[in-house]
Chain A
């Protein structure tokens, strides 16, 4: 035990004296949380909209005002002819152009029927869709108001509720995602790099001829990083709750326990990398390309897995981040209890045991060669 503490102390010195690892450990989570929290949001707000109004009556004025007042749009430009539309889109001055035909109000009140046209810049398809939906909703509201006093032949009244995330905050999606990615990056990369560094420097040999058991050498290397990753989880959660105002719906203890399990998963991946490579660069390269990329793609954080072709969907099951991401979402956002994440937990635990077994086996074989 004394030996173990001597080792842990040494490992902390390494981290504290190495500015790069300190920056990665503390800077990375903070920067990612702030970036995703305030800069890289997928919410569409304040989109520029241009108006081409051939009618210029009371009704169009009201509609334009409503659109301008909503948080989704800012009326940016009034056009005079359809020819100008192209230019507006080309210069990126508007994402959406709303076109009112002549006699809009007149037709509406006399014929009870009129048309308007929405033209969107679909070079970014998601945003185009979202802006069209927002604009249609505003127009529909206006239409409903006009109909209020009249009995319509058929009405379906829709009442929608956004469960778990009523304000549709994107933080509910990215906080679990950021946690997953950071743990994957830190756990696997830092452990593997630090072990491979000992190999490169030749200190590994000294450790192996010491009375310390070889397995203990690995464990003592991994434990300090486990502690550091765990501190990072706490840091991220504190930022989520106090800066991004995202509450933790479920049990905090359960969330931390599951995080610990995932940290062990990533550490075992780190060990697996480190027993197979001999240079720090290769270790880093593998952690980034072979672990971080699939984690990013297959966790479900950025791209919905349901939309992927079947082979990729099947493959996503092999990626540990997918399971941890779904656990964190279930606990943090939906407030579910342990029985609902049991399956994911067992899968993660199984993967961890698998990675660890291979790593230790390979480590023993390497010792013999």
Chain B
């Protein structure tokens, strides 16, 4: 059975004046897939991600997310995606429960099911005792788990994770990835950028951007074979060494 294609891009390009931030990139991501989007700082990852989130329109090329066109249908795109950024993204002086309710609310989840869903989530995360504490008082790892859960609370087709595990310890990172697998098993497509190459290994497929273009793409095992190296670190270093632009 062919899986549905959830993210589709073809020769997607974005220029800022003379600067080509994203240069004719093409890829497809299937439903439920965990797609790692790698690249050095300044390679164009964030710009590409902004286009796919409906924040930025491309200069040329084709792109659709969840079946909606990024040029015209960004409202519909926004309804079908979740987003979590490298900056920690909950309100510190709101409680866990209030944060969940608020973000559920702005995604238009109606009050009744929001109540049920938020209680469910609090139980699932084992935060029964902390639900009424201010988020600011929780450890970073927990905040990130809550952030992620909030990003997929409205059952989006795709969730975009922009360096979600920055600054947390390896154990928490591992737990975080368990949550990602869980979401993917439920059919949510995961589009994740990361700097950690061990995390790249966890992805179903990765693409590596260099200077705005995609330099390599495929399953981690295939890429390692192709570049004849033992781990993703090696792949990344070989590609990134050729980069002309850096920050």
Asked if A pairs with B, the answer is: yes
A18, A202, A213: the one contacting B93 at CB < 8 Å is A18
Contact of B108 among A3, A10, A206, A207 (CB under 8 A): A3
With A211-B79, A368-B56 as contacts: A17 and B88 at CB distance below 8 Å:
no
| Bound CA–CA A329/B110 (angstroms) | 48
> For the complex, what is the distance from the CA of A2 to the CA of B89, rounded to whole Å?
22
A6 with B101: CB separation less than 8 A: yes
- Is B232 close to A, CB under 8 A? no
- Of all A-B residue pairs in the complex, the 9 with the closest CB atoms, nearest first, are A202-B87, A6-B105, A209-B83, A211-B78, A17-B93, A211-B79, A10-B102, A209-B53, A206-B89
Q: Chain A nearest CB: distance from B83 CB in Å? A: 4
Cα A353 to Cα B218 with chains together (Å):
53
Which A residues touch B75, using CB under 8 A?
A: 211, 213
Chain A residues with CB under 8 Å of chain B are 2-3, 6-7, 9-10, 13-14, 17-18, 201-203, 205-213, 367-369
Q: How large is the interface on B (under 10, 10 to 19, 20 to 34, 35 or more residues)?
A: 20 to 34
**B69 contacts partner chain A, Cβ-Cβ < 8 Å:** no
Whether A2 contacts B91 by the Cβ 8 Å rule is no
Tell me which residues across on chain A come within 8 A of B91, comparing CB atoms: 10, 14, 201, 203
Rounded to whole angstroms, the CA-CA distance of A201 and B101 in the bound complex is 19
- Are B94 and A10 in touch, CB under 8 angstroms? yes
Beta-carbon nearest neighbor of A202 in chain B: B87
Closest to B95 in A: A13
- Cβ contact within 8 Å between B85 and A367: no
**What's the dominant secondary structure at chain A's contact region?**
helix
Which residues of A are found within 8 Å of B108, using beta-carbon distances? 2-3, 211
Collect the chain A residues with CB atoms within 8 Å of residue B177's CB. none
- Residues of B near any A CB (own CB < 8 A): 16, 53-57, 75, 78-79, 81, 83-94, 98, 101-103, 105-108, 110-111, 134, 160
Closest to B104 in A: A6
* B53 cross-chain contacts in A, Cβ below 8 A: 209
Query: How many Å lie between the Cα of A6 and that of B108 in the bound state?
Result: 10
Could you name 30 residue pairs across A and B whose Cβ atoms are closer than 8 Å? A2-B105, A2-B110, A3-B108, A6-B105, A6-B106, A7-B106, A9-B102, A10-B91, A10-B94, A13-B93, A13-B98, A14-B93, A201-B89, A201-B91, A201-B92, A202-B86, A202-B88, A202-B89, A203-B89, A203-B90, A205-B83, A205-B85, A205-B87, A209-B160, A210-B78, A210-B106, A211-B75, A211-B79, A213-B75, A368-B56
**Which one of A7, A201, A369 contacts B16 once the chains associate, using CB atoms below 8 Å?**
A369
A6 adjacent to B92 (CB under 8 Å)? no
